[in-house]
Structure 1
């Protein structure tokens, strides 16, 4: 009888960080190292309790930005696992727009704002990262993670834009156009990558599950389409 081949599928529980003050104010965060606010810490505590049930998890990996590490900490503590950090899982870099609300960008950089509203895959805020560059960075990061953890179960804590790239890739969607997937803070998402050599072949198993947050106040909603409605 032939020896069965080992399963190389990497099972990833993908978590967006908890809420920050800048989320509440709808500011562009990008690479700015913003901590969780009180609500974000409560969300992190709750996702940590949920992740404690995932006893098959072998590793916890986080973006190196503070808001992601603070979100990862309760779950890692529950599972008695260290947190490995990487800059490759950071949010998209928004250049001059980081720290600003949409109205502030519109007032100070009107041309950059109008161009951003076209949501083109090769357009970036001045000094920032285009969606195409961002997507390439994230898919490469997932490939590196899947290759290093073949057949393992992981928790990966990262950012909303990263989850948007995962969603678009899994559904074969364009990198152009506004975000269309639901990506709540501290939501529970599960994906699988069967072949580390093809990290773009992502299977979504669960998405945007927030049962553990059900009795908390509504989250601030980052809806890119609202800008287009105001423009019209």
Structure 2
């Protein structure tokens, strides 16, 4: 059975703000849950390895779902987030899927991480699936395909929209906007209403728009894997 790799951030704070950031917990939970229910094995990786910080905004009562609370209280799951694998030590041949989870932290460490890019390149050229949700799409920007072209050039995809960033009140506190960067790489960016679950598949690239979309990404991928079987 396919093995799944979830990439998470190592960044815990906005560089120029006294504000914590990190992984948006639900984006890992709702994706992982679909795979656990279907018997898949999951590993977690981050640029630096070890502990991935959790964005405290993602732990607020008005944000957390019953499923989020279940995993937040699951010691085994939380220990995996506390002991992620280091990107430089990953063997890409072990994985058929890589998924970039979001949270604002990834803006500062996913884009230029060559180890994550190489993992994704190998997964994709091995006929595996590259995927992301929300700000996690930043991890897709510099991945190359087998012909040394940017993987997302000409591909239909989605990620955290400019309008959602503005609604979140953080558009002036990030170095760039996710939607803009995806378009700058030649991607065919699409979106639905703000904060609605939305996922897009283009060949073996699967992306979700926002924190509500992790499950939708997982469902699409599982359908693809089942067809391969």
Structures share fold, TM-score greater than 0.5: no
Higher RCO (Cα < 8 Å, 6 or more apart): 1
Relative to the length of structure 1, the TM-score reads 0.33
